[in-house]
Amino acid sequence: MSTDVPTPSNSSSELKSTASATTTSTKNGRPKIVLWGDSITQMSSSALDSGFSAHLSDAYQRRADVYNRGYSGYNTDWFLSYCKTTEGYNDILTLGGIDHTASGKGKEKSSVELVTIFFGANDASHHIHNKRQHVPLDKYKSNLKELIMLARKWYGQKVKIILMSPPPVYHAQRLQYQIDRYGKEKATGILERTLELSGEYAKVVGEVVNEAENENVAFLDLWTSMQEEDKDGWSRFLSDGLHLSRDGNIFVGKALLQTIAKQFPQVAVHADQQTGLWGNSASKCGEALERFGPWHDEINFEQEIFAKMKKFEKELEGGGNESLKRKRDESIGDDKMEK
């Protein structure tokens, strides 16, 4: 199973290295959360639909940046192939900041703390009615394992990974989607995706997680949890029987944060209990994260200016050092401007 990718150039030659790295702290810049997936992930940045990517960005404001790497229409085969191109390498794998070239030798620490892997909606297409996007179950399973290896190689061996199952498929909505898009005359009435098929692929995702040789892999079973959340009305989580509706995005956003809090508490964020806000001094985060820049209510400019004045006054005692006086005045002046 290969996770080699090309050298970052116009060449199609591949890098061949098994070196790894560990995750990083805020000393290496703001941590990253990277989302791998298909159209469901690509569309999750939608503010209009309260996308789950936007939900994560809200929760992790000033603590981590969320990078959406969802590609509409892709299955696991196509995503892996894209990662092996120069464009895919630069677009996806370099986010970790690990250099596997001969000079780099993979020594840099990754800035990626968490990656989600969310494929299956296209892989689970019917092998006859949508042969183009269909990926056989056994190949899908091996592809997921390769994606885990790829994440660990380029984002670090300690990167936290959440594998997400495909959501359930609602047949009536899929058939209506055909009519809405192609008209009654051209709609085939044949389901190219089914609830049963998506369930088989969801089960495989769970198997991959159970077989993963690392404790930093968690499973978010959307196929089951969505149906259990609303046994008679789970179709409200879908817009066309396949993609997420606004309710579906909100459900997935909350489910992701709950999974992180349970499986990876060191990178979990907890909102201010009084206001529900994620980005203020009353919000809390796990030990692996810090907020960037002091919260506004942690800043006391008057006190800082006074402390600097006292420091310079001590340095000036016993002599009239004009350069120190100018340094003091410039420093105080800068603080006043910032204030």
- Alpha carbon distance 152, 110 (integer Å): 10
**Which of 31, 50, 20 shows the shortest CA–CA distance to 248?**
50
Q: In sequence order, what DSSP letters do the residues of 268-292 get, joined into one string?
A: -EE--TTT--SSSTT-EE-TT---S
In the residue annotation, 245 being an active-site residue is answered as no
**Annotated catalytic residue: which of 111, 239, 243, 247?**
243
Element (DSSP H or E) covering residue 115: strand 112-118
In the residue annotation, 240 being an active-site residue is answered as yes
Asked whether the beta carbons of 250 and 55 are under 8 A apart, the reply is yes
CA distance readout (Å), 125 to 192, 207, 299: 6, 20, 55
**Annotated catalytic residue: which of 20, 25, 39, 245?**
39
- Alpha carbon distance 62, 155 (integer Å): 21
- Alpha carbon distance 253, 220 (integer Å): 11
Asked whether the beta carbons of 66 and 57 are under 8 A apart, the reply is yes
- Alpha carbon distance 114, 256 (integer Å): 11
- Alpha carbon distance 263, 184 (integer Å): 47
The H-assigned helical ranges of 212-321 are: 222-229, 246-263, 301-316
Burial of residue 82, with CB atoms counted within 10 A of its CB: 0-12 exposed, 13-18 middle, 19 or more buried: middle
Asked whether the beta carbons of 83 and 150 are under 8 A apart, the reply is yes
Asked whether the beta carbons of 248 and 257 are under 8 A apart, the reply is no
CA distance readout (Å), 295 to 244, 286, 298: 35, 17, 5
Contacts of 184 (CB under 8 A, 6+ apart): none
Q: How many helices (H) and strands (E) does the chain have?
A: 11, 7
**Annotated catalytic residue: which of 58, 65, 77, 240?**
240
Q: Which residues are marked as active site?
A: 39, 240, 243
